Amino acid sequence: MRLRRCAILFLTPHERLDFQLGSLASGGTGVASVIEWLALAPHLTTQLILDIERIAVLGDVSPVNWIDYETLATKHRTATLDALLADGLLLREHEDSDNARRDANLRAMHWRALDAIAHRFSRWHDVDTIQAQRTFSEETDMDFLERLGPCPPPVRPPQSDARLTLPPAATTPLDEVFKHRYTCRNYDTERALPQAEFAAVLFRSFGARAVHEYAEGVVLLKKSAPSAGGLHPVGAFVLVRDVEDIAPGWYHYHPIEHALEPLVDLRGRDVRALAAKCLGGQPYFSEAHAICMLAGRFRRNFWKYRNHAKAYRSVVLDTGALAQTLYLSATELGLGAFITAGVNELDIERELDLDPMEEGVIAACGFGVKRAQRTEIEYDPPNGVWPTHGMDGG
């Protein structure tokens, strides 16, 4: 039997506080600092705690070249080797297991190690941001600024007294769209979103305006937003809550065909509750008529930008560009829109059966018919949308 280490592995020391009754009984605080070593490997679903003996083995094994089990056993205890095999940090040659398949997939996709770690271990599940804020406020009597300290100024401190004043921009119809662009927290739950407006926002945000075969088998897309290399690896999984003549459900938007691919029928389920769970418990966003989970197809991006320092960042930039295009498309039609990174990626992935390292959720944006009267606070300083405004939001 031959072994090798997993493709990507990071070890980091982690401090935790441990209650020790003996310390308390002898007059101490009862609290002791314990240093543990955490192993972060993106082909695994959880982080692991390792002892020094296991770390020593991992330092002796290549992630590329195979080594005989018997050779390793001359230097390390077989119990330690077997434990690392069970953990999935060591892998057998020709192994057929979930860990081995995920490791092979990472190698084939050319993930950059730091990006793979960040993406895998920054995902949420079962997080309720509203409850977290409520709990935090109950645990402290400090106000907002006392907790956070002074806010940095909106502009970096000037380095010179000299400034070149620029001419004002000529007013165009685009300025009216920008004036009314805001993050909407007030959606009309009594009205359906017209299908024509739904379709228009999807096409202008995610649809392909041109399809070009750059080379044999290399198809590039032209959309309303830019993308690194014209690859457009970010796709939209649409959670339809209330759209005219479209059943509630999960859909995938096909950007070339301008069509919805049904994935999960949600008739009979509480779609608003599902949306709130996916959106980190944010109830105002869960009332949007359509919610788009933006997911990066990393294999497509990394096909060109292999183990590239900017590859993952370009997927995140694509996501932001698509969301802003959705904002402007919705605003032009008089609809409200939002984007949030506060999503429970694991819960979304379970709903859609996604492998996060293959097709991972980055953010969610949604849109819909806004209410006639504001009930949730909005950030609308120019009063372009609501007669009054609050200072919460984006």
The closest of 340, 332, 298 to 116, measured between CA atoms, is 298
Taking residue 58's Cβ as centre, other Cβ atoms within 10 Å add up to 17
Helix, strand or coil for residue 393?
A: coil
Q: Which helix (H) or strand (E) holds 2?
A: strand 2-5
Q: Could you tell me the residue ranges of all domains in the chain?
A: 2-109, 173-368
Residue 389: what pLDDT?
Answer: 45
| pLDDT tens track, the chain, 394 positions | 999 999 999 999 999 877 776 666 676 677 778 889 999 999 999 999 999 999 999 999 999 999 999 999 999 999 999 999 999 999 999 999 999 999 999 999 999 999 999 999 999 999 998 888 787 777 777 777 888 889 889 898 888 888 899 999 999 999 999 989 999 999 999 999 999 999 999 999 999 999 999 999 999 999 999 999 999 999 999 999 999 999 999 999 999 999 999 999 999 999 999 999 999 999 999 999 999 999 999 999 999 999 999 999 999 999 999 999 999 999 999 999 999 999 999 999 999 999 999 999 999 999 999 998 888 888 887 676 776 544 444 4
Give the whole-angstrom CA distance, residue 103 versus residue 89: 10
Residue 382: what pLDDT?
Answer: 66
Two structure tokens written together for 99: 């860990």
Taking residue 124's Cβ as centre, other Cβ atoms within 10 Å add up to 16
Phi-psi region of 383 (alpha: psi -120 to 50; beta: other; left: phi over 0): left
Give the whole-angstrom CA distance, residue 287 versus residue 368: 9
pTM: 0.89
Give the whole-angstrom CA distance, residue 190 versus residue 284: 14
Q: Inter-axis angle of helices 195-206 and 311-332, to 10 degrees? A: 150
Helix, strand or coil for residue 3?
A: strand
Give the whole-angstrom CA distance, residue 390 versus residue 17: 41
| Burial (CB count <10 Å: 0-12, 13-18, 19+), residue 180 | middle
The closest of 152, 149, 238, 165 to 198, measured between CA atoms, is 238
Residue 160: what pLDDT?
Answer: 86
What is the 8-class DSSP label of residue 299? H
62 to 57, 71, 72, 95: CA distances (angstroms)? 10, 13, 12, 17
Under CATH, to which class is 173-368 assigned?
alpha beta
Residue 23: what pLDDT?
Answer: 65
| Burial (CB count <10 Å: 0-12, 13-18, 19+), residue 74 | exposed
The closest of 131, 130, 341, 308 to 231, measured between CA atoms, is 308
Give the whole-angstrom CA distance, residue 91 versus residue 202: 44
Residue 27: what pLDDT?
Answer: 67
